[in-house]
Amino acid sequence: EGESWLKLTFLFLIPPLIIQIYYREPYPWYFIPFIGLGALLIQSKKIAILLSGFSLGAMLRYAPYLYQGDYGRQVVNMQNLLFIVPIVLITLLLVLFELKKRLKLPMV
């Protein structure tokens, strides 16, 4: 029963996160509650893997600014790309593994 409350809390954190990202930008510290709850939901490997993608994307997001030292248009575009790509790749991998499992495809 405790794990179901954690999952519900995890889901309730999503709308405020989306709103903050819409009005500002995806700052890495916005994902701290997700990473914390994800650590408590470690039995769910899918959540742990997805959170790894968010964590990697959030950390990589600062790299262009640290390299360039400003927030020019090119830096902002690279920040967004470095944030989104790990999340999309991890999500696609999770979907592919789930499809493989459901379709009972042989291991390659």
**For the chain, what percent of residues have pLDDT higher than 90?**
22
As a whole number of Å, the CA-based R_g of the chain is 16
Cβ neighbourhood burial of 58 (10 Å; 0-12, 13-18, 19+): buried
Q: Model pTM? A: 0.72
- DSSP three-state, residue 1: coil
Checking if the pLDDT of 92 tops 90, the result is: yes
Q: How long a stretch of residues is the chain? A: 108
